[in-house]
Homo-oligomer: A and B are copies of this chain.
Amino acid sequence: MADSKPFPALDGDPETAETLLRAVFGIVMDEAVRKGTSASEKVCEWKEPEELKQLLDLELRDQGESQEQILERCRAVIRYSVKTGHPRFFNQLFSGLDAHALAGRVITESLNTSQYTYEIAPVFVLMEEEVLKTLRALVGWRSGDGVFCPGGSISNMYAINLARYQRYPDCKQRGLWALPPLALFTSQECHYSIKKGAAFLGLGTDSVRVVKADERGKMVPKDLERQIKMAEAEGAVPFLVSATSGTTVLGAFDPLEAIADVCQRHGLWLHVDAAWGGSVLLSQTHRHLLDGIQRADSVAWNPHKLLAAGLQCSALLLRDTSNLLKHCHGSQASYLFQQDKFYDVALDTGDKVVQCGRRVDCLKLWLMWKAQGGQGLERRVNRAFALAQYLVEEVKKREGFELVMEPEFVNVCFWFVPPSLRGKQESPDYSQRLYKVAPVLKERMVKEGSMMIGYQPHGTRGNFFRMVVANPALTRTDMDFLLNELERLGQDL
């Protein structure tokens, strides 16, 4: 039965809870922050799944455990986790550890609120608005709308749903059966979320018409034009083009001006998936790569990638000023969005989204921006470009490295050619053997814990490495290390 003693949620008393949290903060500082970002520590501690299961003792039991045991578990979780903030973690489009962003994330977690109403998230409703306004200004819009989504894939889906709704508001109520077959267009280099999104939204992957990209990975506007006409000839109604600013593998930027011309001609919604490349807008030097983005109807931009804001920080930005988000997604739940509240209920943004509870994703970016300033963030972006260029020059200088192509962004794609294959380009099995090198080196580096870099096949090309220069703490030393380490790991191949 209930009595008036507090429940022992915190193992008895608030002081124990504080002791626990202080101890965990200490462990996080030592293990994840200090060691996790130190080049002299391993980037990962590889264990086979079965062994790792044993080490972690994952099973959840009836009995609770002591504070001491819990702290040991915290240490183990960190020990066997990959250190994505480590200067030798080159594996994904996100990396690095920004102290201000992490501070923002810890505060967010401690406040544990949902972004849906001003009532319970007054600071964050206003802050999200301000952050989105700032991002929109960089796109080139003085007004508009937007929302933070749980990742770029969902931002892209939102864009497709909004474009569909704008053209056919009936869809919301009557479904796709009330609509003619639709077609949307994106390049062969687009992110896979476009097809996933089309399937999820009921459009089907067939509705995605794949436009050719040139040898640099950029969409070919002429082929876009051709595909639009073909779709129309087949009886489908084109409604959206999704251009990409910063493709996943090659880091290519679609020619937005030319694509916007095509969209304008055909009355199509232009979405720009700038999840990866959006942060380039901060750089006066490089933002020309996104020239024309101001003509888009929607932009997906993930500051958790190049800006290292922390997973997830994914903005969907809209040029729309007609409250399309709310019309498209709203359902006026009366238990949450009461109309007789004592404040302006336009501040309750929950009906802009298809989620109900929604995490606060703005604080980490806001705090980082306040600390670094736009100038500091711009320097980061410029520096990443410069370091990528340095790496390219080094790759060219060294025997045993072959560039896939000159990058225009911070993805540097290259092959490592091991000693036994050098000078054998003419041999018939050269490519076959070359493509088997990356998986072997990947296994070796992970098992040693010396670094992590991704590889993939791409188009007609077999496996090559994709280096991503994103972590703001990187230096030339890390670029040199990457190449030296590949040489060392592959010297016997």
Contacts and interface: CB of A to CB of B under 8 A. Distances in A.
A124 B81 contact: yes
Interface string A344-378: 10010000001111110001001101111111100
Contact of A356 (B83, B121, B192): B192
A105 interface: yes
Interface stretch (A56-64, A215-223, A317-325): A56-64
A160 B126 CA distance: 34
A2 B99 contact: no
Contacts of A442: 341-342
A336 B457 CA distance: 10
A72 to B, nearest CB: 11
A152 interface: yes
A98 to B, nearest CB: 6
Contact of A52 (B20, B113, B123): B123
Interface stretch (A170-178, A254-262, A417-425): A170-178
Given A99-B10, A200-B161, A458 B106 contact: no
Interface residues of A, number: 181
Interface stretch (A203-211, A225-233, A286-294): A203-211
Contact of A373 (B14, B65, B202, B304): B65
Given A37-B14, A354-B196, A477 B4 contact: yes
A166 interface: no
A97 B21 CA distance: 12
Given A7-B380, A335-B458, A343-B48, A354 B106 contact: no
A430 interface: no
Interface string A125-141: 01100110010000000
Interface in A449-466: 452, 454-458, 463, 466
B81 A355 contact: no
A32 to B, nearest CB: 4
Q: How many copies does the complex hold?
A: 2
Contact of A107 (B24, B83, B452): B24
A5 interface: yes
A55 to B, nearest CB: 9
A49 interface: yes
A205 B173 contact: yes
A295 interface: no
B107 A59 contact: no
B341 A439 contact: yes
Nearest to A165: B199
B338 A456 contact: yes
Interface string A18-42: 1011101101110011101100000
Interface stretch (A84-92, A264-272, A398-406): A84-92
Given A10-B98, A150-B359, 11 more contacts: A4-B477, A59-B130, A63-B375, A70-B367, A74-B103, A153-B354, A161-B200, A176-B203, A192-B333, A311-B357, A334-B458
19 contacts: A2-B383, A2-B475, A2-B476, A7-B474, A9-B96, A21-B103, A25-B29, A59-B130, A60-B130, A70-B367, A78-B111, A81-B122, A84-B120, A97-B112, A150-B355, A157-B200, A173-B204, A334-B457, A334-B458
